[in-house]
């Protein structure tokens, strides 16, 4: 028998069902949402206010963000306490504080290489589980909630609220290896713009350059950067599974010291840095474990080098990475 | 002494304290119930003079609000200590950049904090750490603290740059850089 009215009703029913009930969403759809999220960070223009909570500490901040072909540029302002701000533009980071605190300024031996560390989504599946956790509303906008659950105790977990319309992170929470929340941020308002006035992304006039040192130290302004020499070895078998080295370079030398080295490792999501600083008689910066909020660190002295491991990873992972490092054999120049 | 407090309270009510004095005065006021009562009385008098009083005045309003806030269940947070250990709350982030050189001071450290990493609360975990750890004695008092601080800050800034590009929320590493106000954290 043929019932056109019934068939029409069935089709209409399917069409009118809310999407979330129509099809089960496979895990890799969560990855597609993460790809949207990454894209959103690169291209969107917006201004917004968000709150940041870490432990008992609460901050309100304003952000102006511009994406596009010129690269990602953003400016952050603290809205409570002493005024602080940071401008990230043209591969530069500029921090601004009230003048009375400016004396803490120091030469920032910055990474000389263009930074390209895209999220390696395909690598993530082995170490994290991706799940949808429903829908929610943040800053008056509809969001899709995604949970990124680590498969072991050597990395942190995430809960992300992504704007349904464009994938932008409107809220995020970071959890430690025991499931305790370490920090979270949440937009309370956001306005998307066609364009951001470039003047809004300029550092304020008060951000005058610090007095430059005289003499040989001035050479730092044009650092000559060497590729790191081979020598230091990271034993893969001793690293937390999935972590691999993505870059290793020598920072510009300071004074007459030998240049420190910076090794960056990632499991595709978490980033951990190893800094190797020749001590040459100076005091070590850190020995043992340390922590602030989401960042863990472990320091030790190895072969007259300060080894400093820092990252958004559990203390156990940071210590494993420190232990996986072997100093160069005597024949290799350091 | 009481007269001195009354005088200071009067200056506070009139809003004539300098900013640095204000914080001190408010802290003192918050810890002294007698001063608090007097503060409320001064405001009541001031409002009465200005004909600013509502129809009904609840003299225990502030007290009741404080009691309700104290009874609030705290939000669940990590059981880890919120106290920074090796990097301290931002006492300031430095100024600006010239070509090729950035001036960034992140978490500020005092010399005693820098070099007590092997002391209580930061002892090397010998059960889990590498046997190559070489505990060193604490620093002498004349150690150049700003230099050590700058060394550490520049490393953290470099790490944050990479972390910001490999993070699910790229803004967070920068928020961590500027998000801590001086004195916002208790010191350990």
How many other CB atoms sit within 10 Å of the CB of residue B15?
7
What does the pLDDT read at residue B109?
32
A192 & A263 share domain? no
Same domain flag for A131 and A272: no
Spatial separation of the C-alpha atoms in residues A193 and A189, rounded to whole Å = 13
- Burial string for A64-91 (b: 16+ CB within 10 Å, else e) reads bbbbeeeebbbbbbbeeebebbbbbbee
Please report, in angstroms and rounded to a whole number, the separation of the first and last CA atoms in chain A. Answer: 85
CATH number of the domain within which A61 lies: 2.50.20.10
In angstroms, rounded to a whole number, what is the distance separating the alpha carbons of residues B20 and B16? 12
**Do A134 and A252 have their domain in common?**
no
Q: Which of A126, A185, A135, A178 is nearest to A157 (CA)?
A: A178
C-beta atoms of A208 and B78 within 8 A: no
For residue A52, what are the β-bridge partners? Answer: A59, A185
Query: What Å distances lie between residue B34 and A169, B2, B8, B138, CA to CA?
Result: 48, 10, 14, 46
List the strands of the sheet with B97-98, edge to edge. Answer: A107-108, B101-103, B97-98
Helix (H) or strand (E) holding A145: strand A141-150
Residue with tokens 């959103």: A40
**Mutation choice for B interface testing from A44, A97, A172 by most B CBs within 10 A:** A97
The neighbouring-strand residues paired with A74 are A65, A88
Tokens encoding A127: 């170490």
Q: Which residue of B has its CA nearest to A41?
A: B170
C-alpha A325/C-alpha B108 separation (Å) is 28
Distance from CA of B17 to the nearest CA of A (A): 17
- Note whether A182 and A201 are within 8 A (CB): no
The rounded Cα A166 to chain-centroid distance in angstroms is 20
B180 touching A, CB under 8 A? yes
Residues A181-232 have pLDDT tens digits of: 999 999 999 999 999 988 888 766 555 444 444 433 333 333 334 445 568 8
Q: Is residue A84 part of a domain?
A: yes
Which residue carries 């208790």 as its tokens?
Answer: B186
| Residue appearing with tokens 């530069």 | A92
More confident residue, B159 or A275: A275
Return the bridge partners of A129, or none: A149
Work out the percent of chain B whose per-residue pLDDT is above 90. 0
Does B2-71 carry CATH code 1.10.10.880? yes
* Same-domain pairing of A186 and A311: no
The pLDDT value given to residue A11 = 53
Q: How is residue B71 written in tokens?
A: 């009874």
Residue owning tokens 């001195």: B4
- Quote the pLDDT of residue B121: 26
CB of B124 closer than 8 Å to CB of B118: yes
Domain tally for chain A?
Answer: 2
User: Is 50 exceeded by the pLDDT of residue B88?
Assistant: no
Q: Classify the phi-psi angles of A297: left when phi > 0, otherwise alpha if psi is within -120 to 50, otherwise beta.
A: beta
Same domain, A180 and A228: no
Rounded to whole angstroms, how far apart are CA atoms A76 and A78? 7
Do A184 and A61 share a structural domain?
Answer: yes
Q: Which residues of A touch B20 (CB under 8 A)?
A: none
Using CA atoms, how far apart are residues A184 and A55, in angstroms rounded to an integer? 9
* CB atoms near residue A219 (< 10 Å): 12
Domain check: are A61 and A132 in the same one? yes
Residue A285 φ then ψ, to 5°: -80, -40
- Nearest chain A residue to B19 by CA distance is A82
Are A29 and A96 found together in one domain? Answer: yes
Indicate whether A246 and A132 sit together in one domain.
no
CA torsion B139-B143-B147-B148 (nearest 10°) is 10
In this predicted structure, what is the pLDDT of residue A56? 80
Total CB pairs under 8 A between chain A and B = 321
Given a cut of 70, the residues of chain A with pLDDT beneath it are 1-28, 90-92, 97-122, 203-230, 254-257, 330-334
In the predicted structure, residue B145 carries a pLDDT above the cut 50: yes
Is A251 inside any structural domain? yes
- For residues A46 and A193, is the Cβ–Cβ distance under 8 A? yes
The domain containing residue A109 runs over which residues? 25-201
| Cα–Cα distance for residue pair A195/B97, rounded to 1 Å | 26
Instruction: Note whether A55 and A103 are same-domain residues.
Output: yes
Q: Which residues of B27-60 are buried (b: 16+ CB within 10 A; e: fewer)?
A: eebeeeeebbebbbebeeeeeeeeeeeeeeeeee
Determine the Cα–Cα distance for residues A120 and A151; give it in Å rounded to an integer: 17
- Which chain B residue's Cα is nearest to A247? B162
For residue B110, the SS3 value is: coil
Domain check: are A166 and A294 in the same one? Answer: no
Residue A23: C-alpha distances to residues A3, A12, A14, A18, A20 (Å): 26, 16, 11, 9, 6
Chain A residues whose beta carbon lies within 8 Å of the beta carbon of residue B124: 287-289, 300
- Supply the pLDDT for residue A142: 97
Q: Which two tokens stand for residue A205?
A: 């006039």
Q: Which two tokens stand for residue A157?
A: 């977990």
Range(s) of chain B covered by CATH 1.10.10.880:
2-71
pLDDT at A20: 39
Q: In which band, very low, low, confident or very high, does the pLDDT at B184 lie, cut at 50, 70 and 90? A: very low
Is A217 contained in some domain? no
> Are A295 and B176 an interchain contact pair (Cβ–Cβ within 8 Å)?
yes
Query: Closest Cα of chain B to A136: distance in Å?
Result: 18
H or E segment to which residue A57 belongs: strand A57-66
Rounded to whole angstroms, the maximal C-alpha distance in chain B is 75
Residue A14 located in a structural domain: no
The answer to whether the CB of B106 falls within 8 A of the CB of B93 is yes
Q: Match 């160069």 to its residue by tokens.
A: A328
Q: Looking at the predicted structure, is the pLDDT value of residue B143 above 90?
A: no
CA distance A49 to chain B (A): 12
Q: Closest partner residue to A111 among B146, B152, B158, by Cβ? A: B158
Contacts of A295 in chain B (CB under 8 A): 176
The set of residues, in sequence order, having a beta carbon less than 8 Å from that of A193 and lying 6+ positions away, is: A45, A46, A47
Residue of B115, B81, B77, B90 lying closest to B188 (CA atoms) = B81
pLDDT tens column, B17-74: 666 566 667 767 776 777 777 777 777 777 777 777 777 767 677 777 777 777 776 6
Please name the member of A117, A220, A295 whose beta carbon is closest to the beta carbon of B166: A117
What pTM does this model have? 0.63
For tokens 């800034």, what's the residue?
Answer: B157
B115 with A283: Cβ contact below 8 A: yes
Cβ-contact A172, A53 below 8 angstroms: no
> Within a domain: residue A286?
yes
User: How confident is the prediction for chain B on average, in pLDDT?
Assistant: 55
């Amino acid at each position: 028998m043929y019932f056109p009215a019934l068939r029409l009703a069935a089709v209409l029913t399917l069409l009118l069902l809310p999407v979330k009930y129509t099809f089960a969403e496979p895990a890799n759809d969560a990855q597609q949402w993460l790809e949207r999220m990454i894209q959103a960070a690169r291209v969107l223009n917006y201004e917004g206010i968000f709150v940041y909570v870490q432990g008992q500490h609460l901050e309100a901040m304003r952000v102006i963000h511009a994406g596009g072909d010129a690269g990602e540029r953003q400016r952050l302002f603290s809205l409570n306490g002493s005024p602080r701000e940071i401008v990230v533009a043209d591969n530069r980071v500029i921090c601004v504080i009230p003048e009375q605190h400016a004396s803490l300024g120091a030469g920032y031996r910055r990474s000389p290489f263009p930074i390209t560390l895209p999220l390696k989504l395909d690598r993530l599946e082995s170490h994290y589980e991706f799940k949808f956790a429903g829908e929610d509303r943040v800053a008056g906008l509809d969001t899709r909630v995604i949970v990124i659950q680590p498969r072991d105790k050597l990395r942190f977990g995430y809960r992300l609220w992504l704007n349904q319309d464009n994938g932008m992170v409107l809220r995020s929470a970071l959890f430690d290896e025991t499931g305790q929340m370490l920090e979270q941020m949440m937009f309370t308002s956001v306005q998307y713009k066609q364009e951001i006035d470039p003047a809004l992304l300029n550092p304020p006039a008060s951000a005058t350059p610090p007095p430059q040192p005289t003499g040989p130290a001035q050479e730092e302004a044009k650092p000559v950067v060497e590729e790191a020499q081979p020598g230091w070895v990271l034993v893969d078998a001793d690293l937390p599974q999935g972590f691999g080295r993505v870059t290793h370079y020598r920072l510009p030398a300071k004074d007459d010291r030998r240049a420190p080295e910076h090794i960056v490792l990632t499991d595709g999501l978490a980033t951990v840095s190893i800094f190797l600083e020749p001590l040459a008689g100076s005091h070590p910066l850190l020995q043992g474990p340390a922590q602030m909020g989401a960042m863990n660190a472990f320091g030790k002295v190895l072969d007259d080098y300060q080894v400093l491991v820092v990252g958004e990873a559990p203390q156990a992972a940071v210590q494993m990475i420190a232990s996986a490092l072997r100093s160069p054999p005597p024949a290799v120049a350091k | 002494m009481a007269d001195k407090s009354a005088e200071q309270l009067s200056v506070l009510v009139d809003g004539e304290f300098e900013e640095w004095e204000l914080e001190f005065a408010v802290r003192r006021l918050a810890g002294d119930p007698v001063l608090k009562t007097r503060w409320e009385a001064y405001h009541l008098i001031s409002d009465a003079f200005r004909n600013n009083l509502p129809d009904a005045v609840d003299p225990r309003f502030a007290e009741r609000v404080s009691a309700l806030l104290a009874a609030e269940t705290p939000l669940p947070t990590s059981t880890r200590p919120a106290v920074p250990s090796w990097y301290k709350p931002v006492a300031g982030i430095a100024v600006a950049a010239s070509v090729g050189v950035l001036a960034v001071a992140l978490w500020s450290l005092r010399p005693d904090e820098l070099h007590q990493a092997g002391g209580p609360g930061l002892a090397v975990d010998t059960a889990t750490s590498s046997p190559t750890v070489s505990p060193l004695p604490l620093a002498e008092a004349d150690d150049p603290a700003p230099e050590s601080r700058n060394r550490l800050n520049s490393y953290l800034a470099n790490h944050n740059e990479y972390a910001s590009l490999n993070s699910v929320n790229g803004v967070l590493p920068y928020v961590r850089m500027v998000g801590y106000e001086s004195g916002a954290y208790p010191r350990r």
